[in-house]
């Protein structure tokens, strides 16, 4: 497929007014030739979704407790290992390669609307006695197991982790544009929500809210269900952030069959 060929937009899927608490860790850029171990679910790791050209770059772990969305309240954990090249243009954009959510609806909607490789998991948020942080611990375990693969302890830092910094991604010099290859469908009948898709999806994310700094320690991934994360990396948290997600299907021109 030539670099001059441009994809045609076919349809859109947009959430305009979601809200939630966000916890975000951005670690140093990866210089590896492939994403970190455990960056893919078993359903995707041997599929074309995981065979895209990895370009490295910043890595991020994101936890969202959605307080409001078009499908109700739910929890989410995302792993972004870096950027990948788009086959038809060579452009480098980021994507989440592993994702967990707390409801069946959020699994199927996320996969169908945006090609985000979501799986079901159990989330537990322990209320905090801190005046600003809403939680003292966040635990995530596989939906059919009780042992958490991630257990984070949240401790107040600067200004007691008071949200003091206004953030709006419209005005920061970071591209919040994500491109996702088609997802494979699970052949396991017990995972009925793991629908497959046939088109690339481009997702634009907008977030606004007040951010604070939080210290997080604990078990940050077991290397099986989720990559092992650095414990020294800083975390930001946004209180009751406004979240807008706009997704479009991207279909290469019929004359180009490189995908």
- Would residue 169 count as lying in a domain? yes
- Would residue 259 count as lying in a domain? no
DSSP assignment of 163-223 equals --EEEEGGGSSS--EEEEPPPPPP--GGGTT-----SEEEEEEEEEEEEEEEEEEEEE--S
Tens digits of residue pLDDT in 90-107: 999 999 999 999 999 999
Query: Of 8-22, 138-152, 206-220, which range is least confident?
Result: 8-22
- Would residue 161 count as lying in a domain? yes
DSSP assignment of 21-67 equals EEEEEEEEEE-SSSPPTT-S-TTTTTSGGG-SPEEEEEEEEEEEEEE
- Would residue 2 count as lying in a domain? no
Count up the domains in the chain and report the number. Answer: 1
Query: Of 27-31, 68-72, 134-138, which range is least confident?
Result: 27-31
- Would residue 256 count as lying in a domain? no
- Would residue 1 count as lying in a domain? no
- Would residue 168 count as lying in a domain? yes
Residue 160 gets the label, from left (phi > 0), alpha (psi -120 to 50) or beta, of left
pTM listed for this prediction: 0.90
> Of 139, 15, 132, 136, which is closest to residue 77 (Cα–Cα)?
139
DSSP assignment of 105-170 equals HHHHHHHHHH---EEEEEEEEEEP-SSS-SEEEEEEEETT-SS-SEEEEEEE-GGGG---EEEEGG
CATH code, domain carrying 245:
2.40.400
Tens digits of residue pLDDT in 189-234: 555 568 899 999 999 999 999 999 999 999 999 999 999 988 777 7
- Would residue 258 count as lying in a domain? no
Domain residues for the domain of 156 are 8-251
With a CB cutoff of 8 Å and minimum separation 6, the contacts of 214 are 23, 133, 154, 155, 156, 157, 161, 235, 236, 237
């Amino acid at each position: 497929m030539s670099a001059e060929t441009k994809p045609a937009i076919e349809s859109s899927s947009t959430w305009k007014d979601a809200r939630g608490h966000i916890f975000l860790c951005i670690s140093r850029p990866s210089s590896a030739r492939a994403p970190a171990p455990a960056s893919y679910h078993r359903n995707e790791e041997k599929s074309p979704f995981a065979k895209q050209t990895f370009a490295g770059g910043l890595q991020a772990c994101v936890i969202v407790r959605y307080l409001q969305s078009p499908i109700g309240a739910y929890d989410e954990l995302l792993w972004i290992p870096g950027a990948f090249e788009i086959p038809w243009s060579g452009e480098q954009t980021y994507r989440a390669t592993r994702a967990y959510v707390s409801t069946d609806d959020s699994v199927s909607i996320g996969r169908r609307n945006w090609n985000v490789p979501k799986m079901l998991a159990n989330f537990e948020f322990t209320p905090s006695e801190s005046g600003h942080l809403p939680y003292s611990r966040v635990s995530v375990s596989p939906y059919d197991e009780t042992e958490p693969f991630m257990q984070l302890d949240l401790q107040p830092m600067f200004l007691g982790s008071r949200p003091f910094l206004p953030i709006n991604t419209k005005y920061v010099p970071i591209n919040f544009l994500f491109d996702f290859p088609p997802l494979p469908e699970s052949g396991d009948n017990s995972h009925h929500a793991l629908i497959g898709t046939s088109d690339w999806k481009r997702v634009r994310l907008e977030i606004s809210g007040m951010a604070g700094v939080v210290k997080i320690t604990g078990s940050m991934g077991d290397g099986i269900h989720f990559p092992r994360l650095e414990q020294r990396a800083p975390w930001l948290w946004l209180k009751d952030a406004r979240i807008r997600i706009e997704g479009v299907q991207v279909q290469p021109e019929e004359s180009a069959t490189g995908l």
